[in-house]
Chains A and B, each alone.
Chain A
């Protein structure tokens, strides 16, 4: 890549780290560090919420999915606006008015310490692992594309995020997120415009080409428990997934707890509801247009350079023949068949996953984007990764310190002490995420395992929060309901593995509510501990 592109990448990373550290004023107390003194405007919180969930996986994985599979992935998000509306009138006012640091802290106030500790522990387990996979996804792509050592790639992505999150807490993370969101959206728009200029036909013809190959098929109204990308899976399963994620996951809850008021907190969530589907459509459109671009220009048969090297070293003539046939193939179907053949050889030689969708956009960016724009796009991918990591690290730290350390280990200490522990905790989770990232890459399928692993917990945790809103629910009902919900999802996952994980959340919510309410009806009403009176 041209040195100017690297200057842009390094310059941007230096700028955001400096900006984050400068924004760390007033973070000398816990409330400032974890909640920005509950003073952030709704639009900054809204952009930060969107930034935390728009990771590098979106920038390279979702765009790649657009290139191979078209727009149908967008159905996954159809439940999001509905979830935001429901949360705006239910959990957001509940948690915001409770004056808590973490969502799980509220559960002790409503139920008991064991429910709080279990939910906090499940959050730490799943988020800690997922933070590693968020670093792993772009690191492995950068390592293959640029030929760098994997540890360096992990460090380039992870260290700056750990640095500004550790020094500036939620305030620094939020304001850096705001800046980075402008870069990310700007980079995506610039790539779309460049593609429209470089594709040698009119935009209308380009869309007809995409449509003819099924890339613009957005809606699938079939009802299937096994297909994740249908209208009904997205609307029903997606609503519960998004409610779980935005309503009970500390990485999201921490954002709106930092808003000035309940009204600003829910307006910030509605901002995500406004923009998520159009933004995802833009991300997928980049991939669709890259697909059209390669219909008119020669492209590599294998997008992953590591695959290309492996097949070239083992069977140079075979790869050359396949590439030549691929370049002259008359139909997209024939090209797909040739690519599958080449990917099979790559899988046999590398013993890793053969899917190279994650490499399509990075290869296009490096090979075909004009000078400067490639640097901006790479900076945007790193920015997206940093946004997600820093947001998750601060939430992991708040759950570690507030729900475990202050609750169980050292209840009486000064604010300065907790602040030092919080910073150390961010550093710990940062190192943990980098180690997970390294092994996630080597084990290949661990990323998928971790995603499914996360879907085990979400629905059950949401079920407990919904129980908390029902006055007659007791602590015994909540705790046993949650354990039963987790068990139900495990049974579905292992006995019916084809059922899409989107439905796991709905199943868990139903089980937790049913068991929780039944047990509550049978057990005497408990008097919950009051965490307000204790740390």
Chain B
């Protein structure tokens, strides 16, 4: 019984950690995509401004 409750405690402690990790990953993911879009726009600007 005590083993089962310890397992349940660990699981409930793990859940917020997983949620936090997922949140951090999604945040990083969105910023990665943002940086890529900005980089591509800057490269496009470089090409369109100076190439003729």
> CB within 8 Å of B: which residues of A?
71, 74, 81, 84-85, 88, 207-208, 210-212, 214, 216-219, 261-263, 266-267, 270, 273-274, 277-278, 281
Are B29 and A270 neighbours in the complex by a CB distance under 8 Å?
A: yes
A216–B44 Cα distance when bound, in Å, is: 10
Are A267 and B24 neighbours in the complex by a CB distance under 8 Å?
A: yes
Q: A81-B32, A270-B32 are in contact. Are A216 and B50 (CB under 8 A)?
A: yes
Are A273 and B47 neighbours in the complex by a CB distance under 8 Å?
A: no
Are B25 and A266 neighbours in the complex by a CB distance under 8 Å?
A: yes
Are A219 and B44 neighbours in the complex by a CB distance under 8 Å?
A: yes
Are A85 and B39 neighbours in the complex by a CB distance under 8 Å?
A: no
Could you pull out 22 A-B pairs where Cβ atoms are within 8 angstroms? A71-B47, A74-B43, A81-B33, A85-B29, A88-B25, A211-B49, A212-B50, A212-B51, A216-B46, A218-B44, A218-B46, A218-B47, A219-B43, A263-B21, A263-B24, A266-B25, A270-B28, A270-B32, A273-B32, A277-B40, A278-B35, A281-B43
Are A217 and B51 neighbours in the complex by a CB distance under 8 Å?
A: yes
Contacts of A71 in B (CB 8 A): 43, 46-47
Residue in B closest to A263 when the chains form the complex, CB atoms: B21
Contacts of B25 in A (CB 8 A): 88, 263, 266-267
A84–B36 Cα distance when bound, in Å, is: 12
Contacts of B35 in A (CB 8 A): 274, 278
A163–B29 Cα distance when bound, in Å, is: 37
Minimum CB–CB distance for B8 against chain A, Å: 21
A278–B52 Cα distance when bound, in Å, is: 23
Contacts of A217 in B (CB 8 A): 47, 51
Residue in A closest to B36 when the chains form the complex, CB atoms: A81
A303–B5 Cα distance when bound, in Å, is: 73
Partner of B21, one of A212, A262, A281: A262
Contacts of A266 in B (CB 8 A): 25
B residues contacting the other copy or chain, number (CB 8 A):
20
A11–B10 Cα distance when bound, in Å, is: 51
Minimum CB–CB distance for A298 against chain B, Å: 25
Contacts of B44 in A (CB 8 A): 218-219
Q: A85-B29, A88-B25, A261-B21 are in contact. Are A219 and B47 (CB under 8 A)?
A: yes
Contacts of B47 in A (CB 8 A): 71, 211, 216-219
Minimum CB–CB distance for A419 against chain B, Å: 33
Q: Which 3 A-B pairs have the closest CB atoms?
A: A211-B50, A263-B21, A211-B51
A278–B29 Cα distance when bound, in Å, is: 17
Contacts of B46 in A (CB 8 A): 71, 207, 216, 218
Contacts of A267 in B (CB 8 A): 24-25, 28
A102–B4 Cα distance when bound, in Å, is: 34
Q: A262-B21, A263-B21 are in contact. Are A216 and B28 (CB under 8 A)?
A: no
Contacts of A219 in B (CB 8 A): 43-44, 47
Minimum CB–CB distance for B13 against chain A, Å: 15
Contacts of B28 in A (CB 8 A): 267, 270
Residue in B closest to A81 when the chains form the complex, CB atoms: B36
Residue in A closest to B38 when the chains form the complex, CB atoms: A278
Q: A219-B44, A267-B28 are in contact. Are A277 and B50 (CB under 8 A)?
A: no
Partner of B32, one of A207, A208, A263, A274: A274
A261–B25 Cα distance when bound, in Å, is: 12
Minimum CB–CB distance for B1 against chain A, Å: 29
Minimum CB–CB distance for A422 against chain B, Å: 32
Are A85 and B50 neighbours in the complex by a CB distance under 8 Å?
A: no
Contacts of A210 in B (CB 8 A): 50
A74–B43 Cα distance when bound, in Å, is: 10
A88–B40 Cα distance when bound, in Å, is: 22
Minimum CB–CB distance for A210 against chain B, Å: 7
Interface flags for B15-45 (1: CB within 8 Å of A; 0: not) read 0000001001100110111011001100110
Are B43 and A85 neighbours in the complex by a CB distance under 8 Å?
A: no
Minimum CB–CB distance for B3 against chain A, Å: 23
A84–B32 Cα distance when bound, in Å, is: 10
Looking at B21, B25, B51, the one whose CB has the most chain A CB atoms below 10 A away is: B51
Residue in B closest to A262 when the chains form the complex, CB atoms: B21
A379–B43 Cα distance when bound, in Å, is: 29
Residue in B closest to A273 when the chains form the complex, CB atoms: B32
